Amino acid sequence: MIRWLQKLYYPIQAGHYRLEKHSIGLTLAIIFAAMIGGFVEIAPLFTIDETVEEAPDMRLYTPLEQAGRDIYIREGCYACHSQMIRTLVDEVDRYGAYSLAVESKYDHPMLWGSKRTGPDLARLGGKYSDDWHVAHLIDPRAVVPESVMPHYAFLAQRRLETESLPARLAALGKVGVPYDAAMIENAERDARGQANPDSDDAGGVAERYGEATQIRPFDGDTARLTEMDALVAYLQILGKLTDAASRIETAAIEADMEAAQ
Amino acid sequence: MIAKFTVAERQWSLVLLVLTALAGLAMAALGAGDAMGVHGFIVLIVSLGLIFVVGGGLFAPEPTEDRRRAYYDDPIKLGLVLAMVWAVIGMGVGDWVAWMLAYPEARFDAAWSSFGRVRPVHTTGVIFGFGGNALIATSMHVMQRTSRARMAGQVSPWFVIIGYNLFVVMAVSGYLMGVTQSKEYAEAEWYADIWLVIVWVTYFVLYIRTLARRNEPHIYVANWYYLAFILVVAVLHIINNLAMPASLTAAKSYSLFSGVQDAMTQWWYGHNAVAFFLTAGFLGMLYYYLPKRANRPIYSYRLSILSFWGITFFYIWVGSHHLHYTALPHWVQTLGMTFSVMLLVPSWASAGNALMTLNGAWHKVRDDATLRFMFVAAVFYGLSTFEGSFLAIRPVNSLSHYTDWTVAHVHAGAMGWVALITFGAIYAAVPMIWRRETMYSWKLVEWHFWLALAGTMIYVFAMWNSGIVQGLMWRTYNEAGTLQYSFVDTLVAMHPYYIARAIGGLLFLTGAVVGSYNIWMTIREVGHEAKARDVPTDSEAGEPAVPVAE
């Protein structure tokens, strides 16, 4: 065995002895050796259909929610909050049904996170009231005394910049999110309308993004469209773009019960 | 600096600087009102300042000596000084955010000072500011000495170092203004990323041209690692940063990939930033400065080959261990776990090769804190690669992931391995490059060593405790079959460990400040030593570039 290995080894060493005299050869060998793994693991994710589940009910982020998502990214919320419930029983008990790939299909970039200094937010939508979110963002320790979260009171004062929303939606369209021309064209109106149900702009939001779209003054004030409106709108949609996860969970529970019978 | 350029090189530098100044002006004008405009001003000011410097020396007499007969160390000096500046900034910010997690009001009442915006300043500051400058500067030292040839370029080394630091400044200042792609360790936005590609290609060309000049038939091991670092980081950086800008006159962009593909690409990048930036590059450092300082040949050439190709081939597979139990397909998780475990073989081959090299020089390890830095770094390299393989096993990861255990692991690697090998290499390199007899104070090197080691131990033990405690609390059920602890309960349990961690970080930072002072005083106060033999020669003429076995 050892002798056999030695026989194998000497030509390798002799080959290497030659290779390390050639800088370009070494360069090509490094690139080749280092690219195999990445290619094998990443390329099939784009081609194998089962990688991302089908969810016909999956809806897009509205312009206001996307603006909120951009604020979430800007403030680095992902550094402390994950958006990925793992397939572990305690996580499902704590946060809800485990996350599916399809749920972040339109997330450019994904915000799965890597550290939970704060809790997971994948299914935060609808768990707390808008008022709770606003109060918590303005002063986290007024709501949760032990919290170490930074306060974001300035969001309630800052006007939401909507002028660039059409361009932002168009860019997302170019990388594969199916925003149509009307959505891009009306992005600013829809952002205003979603936070002001009594205005003329509100009707178009439900028309373009579905009747289930949450249309209300998220920061409690219809007079101004603030960054707080956008961020709370985003937090309230987390986990609610599709019902696929709860459908799969219900089906699994039913299958378990049938098996038990 | 300018006196050593020919007039043609001075003109060429001016052309380059005018081009960057124009680019800065365009960014400042078109991106006005956006963070891009601020970055444009930074580029413009840096370019104008350098135009002033180069223009001031434009008509100075040309150098008369034959430049090829001497090594070119001036750009290295700038790189090493900047590495120490970034060390103090990056570690200082790191300790600040550590205190913020224990006392959330320990900040300014301004948006820029929240944890989420400051934390990437710490990670980018230490990894790319401190680590990157140290890697580029030492690689320029090592490539010349092991090739016995002067660097192949007079202007390009300056372009690489200054351009690289401009990237880090744009990245870090961007985070404070809220400019981020949110991809960890790749947060900088699209125009900064494009700039880094230009700098990086120049760096590669400089490296390969210097190797082509070499007076040694063989390319020494350290250069294999530096080459792998340069090449693979380029590929990772380009692919992970593919994005669509919302506007060409603003910073915001959207990743080309989404969801599960984006997650896999990000952690393929993220873990190979660990592999090829924080491991391969620093192994290059180790393979030169450790045998030099110990005056012992590398223990085994075969182990060097095994570990180099093992690391290059295995590492690239392991990124998916960051995504265990997630929506990433199971087969990719399994591949990542398998290769992570196999990776232990080449990792320990490297660590073992380094430690065995010290056989016969252990008295030097005892007496010389510089060599001891490198020795302890190799030990931490072995320990944290073992821990890494362990944490990549799926059931172990179910406990450790999302907790401070990961933070402990990263810092055992970053402080114990990366920073300690860097400090050792810098203490070895500074007297060589500035041609000084010795460091200003060996006692301060000792102080730095013990501060750094104590800081690392306190930090890592605190985070091990908090991570395992939190992981266990999250999964504890009571007798009724419901979860025992709320999330806030676990947060309260973390508090004492967060204070301990911040104290450990403070010790480590103090060490870096002591080291910076020592380096500064070495440059200012210690007398010159003429090292006659430290010049490019063909291999028969001089002593070997690194110690060789008899």
CA angle B122/B520/B89 to nearest 5° reads: 10
| Residues of chain A contacting residue B298, judged by C-beta atoms under 8 Å apart | none
A86: contact with B, CB 8 A cutoff: yes
Cβ within 8 Å, pair B402-A171 = no
Does the annotation flag B495 for ligand binding? Answer: no
Query: What burial letters (b/e) apply to B139-165, b meaning 16+ CB within 10 Å?
Result: bbbbbbbbbbbbbbbbbbbbbbbbbbb
Cβ within 8 Å, pair A104-B302 = no
Q: How far is B351 from chain A (nearest CA, A)?
A: 21
Tell me A98's DSSP state.
Answer: P
From the candidate CATH numbers 1.20.1560.10, 3.30.420.10, 1.10.645.10, 1.10.760.10, the one assigned to the domain spanning A63-250: 1.10.760.10
Q: How far is B68 from chain A (nearest CA, A)?
A: 21
Q: How far is B120 from chain A (nearest CA, A)?
A: 9
Q: What is the pLDDT of residue B540?
A: 62
Does the annotation flag B271 for ligand binding? Answer: yes
Look at residues B239, B254, B161 and name the one whose alpha carbon lies nearest to residue B202.
B161
Query: What burial letters (b/e) apply to B472-509, b meaning 16+ CB within 10 Å?
Result: ebbbeeeeeeebebebeebbebbeebbbbbbbbbbbbb
Q: How confident is the model at residue B2 (pLDDT cuts 50, 70, 90)?
A: confident
Instruction: For chain B, give the longest Cα–Cα distance.
Output: 87
Query: From CA B95, how far away is CA B73, in angstroms rounded?
Result: 33
A5: contact with B, CB 8 A cutoff: no
Query: From CA B49, how far away is CA B51, in angstroms rounded?
Result: 5
Query: From CA B169, how far away is CA B190, in angstroms rounded?
Result: 14
* Closest in B120, B212, B309 to A23, CB measured: B212
Find tokens 């000497």 and name the residue. Answer: A10
Cβ within 8 Å, pair B115-A79 = yes
* Closest in A31, A45, A80 to B261, CB measured: A45
Query: From CA A2, how far away is CA B41, in angstroms rounded?
Result: 65
Distant-in-sequence, close-in-space partners of B457: CB < 8 Å, separation ≥ 6: B504
Residue B538 confidence (pLDDT) above 80: no
Cβ within 8 Å, pair A36-B313 = yes
Q: What is the pLDDT of residue B1?
A: 73
| Residues of chain B contacting residue A74, judged by C-beta atoms under 8 Å apart | 178-180
Q: How far is A86 from chain B (nearest CA, A)?
A: 5
Q: How far is A77 from chain B (nearest CA, A)?
A: 6
Q: What is the mean pLDDT of residues B144-157?
A: 94
Query: From CA B446, how far away is CA B458, in angstroms rounded?
Result: 18
Q: CB of B389 within 8 A of CB of B340?
A: yes
End-to-end CA distance of chain A: 56
Query: From CA B306, how far away is CA B252, in angstroms rounded?
Result: 44
Q: What is the pLDDT of residue A4?
A: 84
Cβ within 8 Å, pair B255-A108 = yes
* Contact residues, B window 76-135, toward A, CB-based 8 Å cutoff: 100-102, 104, 107, 111, 114-117, 119-120
A142: contact with B, CB 8 A cutoff: no
Q: CB of B437 within 8 A of CB of B431?
A: yes
Cβ within 8 Å, pair B268-A38 = yes
Q: CB of B308 within 8 A of CB of B301?
A: no
Residues in a beta bridge with B254: B244
| Residues of chain B contacting residue A31, judged by C-beta atoms under 8 Å apart | 231-232, 235
Q: CB of B179 within 8 A of CB of B251?
A: yes
Q: CB of B250 within 8 A of CB of B317?
A: no
Q: How far is CA B341 from CA A102, A162, B281, B333, B338, in A?
A: 30, 49, 22, 13, 5
Q: CB of A84 within 8 A of CB of B326?
A: yes
Q: How far is A198 from chain B (nearest CA, A)?
A: 31
Residue B539 confidence (pLDDT) above 70: no
* Closest in B178, B257, B263 to A112, CB measured: B263
Does the annotation flag B409 for ligand binding? Answer: yes
Q: How far is CA B234 from CA A102, B162, B175, B203, B318, in A?
A: 31, 18, 22, 11, 18
Q: What is the pLDDT of residues B321-364, one digit of tens each?
A: 999 999 999 999 999 999 999 999 999 999 999 999 999 999 99
Query: From CA B311, how far away is CA B286, in angstroms rounded?
Result: 15
Q: What is the pLDDT of residue B542?
A: 63
Q: CB of B534 within 8 A of CB of B487?
A: no
Mean pLDDT for chain A? 94
CA neighbours closer than 13 Å in the CB half-sphere of residue B490: 24
Cβ within 8 Å, pair B258-A164 = no
Look at residues B241, B242, B245, B244 and name the one whose alpha carbon lies nearest to residue B270.
B241
* Closest in B212, B317, B398 to A88, CB measured: B398
The pair of structure tokens assigned to B515 is: 């080291």
Q: What is the mean pLDDT of residues B36-48?
A: 97
The pLDDT > 70 percentage for chain B reads 98
DSSP letters spanning B212-258: HT-SSSSPPHHHHHHHHHHHHHHHHHHHHT-EEES-TTSS-EEESS-
Find, in chain B, the residue whose alpha carbon is nearest to that of A84.
B326
Count of C-beta atoms within a 10 Å radius of residue A12 = 13
Query: From CA B184, how far away is CA B166, in angstroms rounded?
Result: 20
| β B243-245/B253-255 pair status | antiparallel
Cβ within 8 Å, pair B252-A172 = no
Q: How confident is the model at residue B174 (pLDDT cuts 50, 70, 90)?
A: very high
* Closest in A13, A154, A177 to B111, CB measured: A154
What ipTM was estimated for this complex? 0.95
Task: For chain A, give every residue range classified as CATH 1.10.760.10.
Answer: 63-250
Alpha-carbon Rg of chain A, whole angstroms? 25
B265: contact with A, CB 8 A cutoff: yes
Residue B11 confidence (pLDDT) above 70: yes
Q: What is the pLDDT of residues A40-59, one digit of tens each?
A: 999 999 998 889 998 999 99
* Contact residues, A window 185-244, toward B, CB-based 8 Å cutoff: none
Pairs of CB atoms within 8 A across A/B: 252
Query: From CA B81, how far away is CA B218, in angstroms rounded?
Result: 31
Q: What is the pLDDT of residues A70-92, one digit of tens each?
A: 999 999 999 999 999 999 999 99
B313: contact with A, CB 8 A cutoff: yes
Q: What is the pLDDT of residue A88?
A: 96
Cβ within 8 Å, pair A146-B184 = no
Q: How far is A51 from chain B (nearest CA, A)?
A: 6
Q: What is the pLDDT of residues A146-199, one digit of tens each?
A: 999 999 999 999 999 999 999 999 999 999 999 999 999 999 999 999 999 999
Query: From CA B35, how far away is CA B31, in angstroms rounded?
Result: 7
Query: From CA A134, how far away is CA A151, in angstroms rounded?
Result: 11
A253: contact with B, CB 8 A cutoff: no
Find, in chain B, the residue whose alpha carbon is nearest to that of A167.
B246
Q: Can you tell me whether residue B18 is helix, strand or coil?
A: helix
CA neighbours closer than 13 Å in the CB half-sphere of residue A247: 12
pTM: 0.96
Q: What is the pLDDT of residues B253-283, one digit of tens each?
A: 999 999 999 999 999 999 999 899 999 999 9
Q: What is the pLDDT of residues A5-25, one digit of tens each?
A: 888 878 888 888 889 899 999
Q: How far is B175 from chain A (nearest CA, A)?
A: 8
* Closest in A23, A120, A175 to B211, CB measured: A23
Q: What is the pLDDT of residue B550?
A: 62
Chain-centre distance for alpha carbon B509: 16
Q: What is the pLDDT of residue B536?
A: 86
Helix ranges, B274-392 (H):
281-294, 301-314, 330-342, 344-357, 362-367, 369-391
Q: Write down the architecture of domain B74-524 according to CATH.
A: Up-down Bundle (1.20)
Q: What is the pLDDT of residue B526?
A: 85
Q: What is the pLDDT of residues B82-97, one digit of tens each?
A: 999 999 999 999 999 9
Measured on CA atoms in the order A141, A147, A149, A150, is the torsion positive or negative? positive
Distant-in-sequence, close-in-space partners of B65: CB < 8 Å, separation ≥ 6: none
Of B14-23, B223-232, B298-307, the one with minimum mean pLDDT is: B298-307
Query: From CA B29, how far away is CA B27, in angstroms rounded?
Result: 6
| Residues of chain A contacting residue B496, judged by C-beta atoms under 8 Å apart | none
Q: How far is CA B18 from CA B2, B25, B168, B248, in A?
A: 17, 10, 21, 22
| Residues of chain A contacting residue B182, judged by C-beta atoms under 8 Å apart | 73, 76, 78, 109, 111
Q: What is the pLDDT of residues A207-251, one digit of tens each?
A: 999 999 999 999 999 999 999 999 999 999 999 999 998 888 888
Q: CB of B473 within 8 A of CB of B485?
A: yes
Check residues B534 and A130 and name the one with the higher pLDDT. A130
A31: contact with B, CB 8 A cutoff: yes
B434: contact with A, CB 8 A cutoff: no
Residue B62 confidence (pLDDT) above 90: no
Residue B134 confidence (pLDDT) above 80: yes
Residues in a beta bridge with A159: A226
Length of chain A in residues, anyone?
A: 261
Query: From CA B93, how far away is CA B90, in angstroms rounded?
Result: 5
Cβ within 8 Å, pair B257-A35 = no
Distant-in-sequence, close-in-space partners of B326: CB < 8 Å, separation ≥ 6: A84, A86, A99, A112, B263, B333
Query: From CA B46, how far away is CA B42, in angstroms rounded?
Result: 6
The pair of structure tokens assigned to B215 is: 């007076």
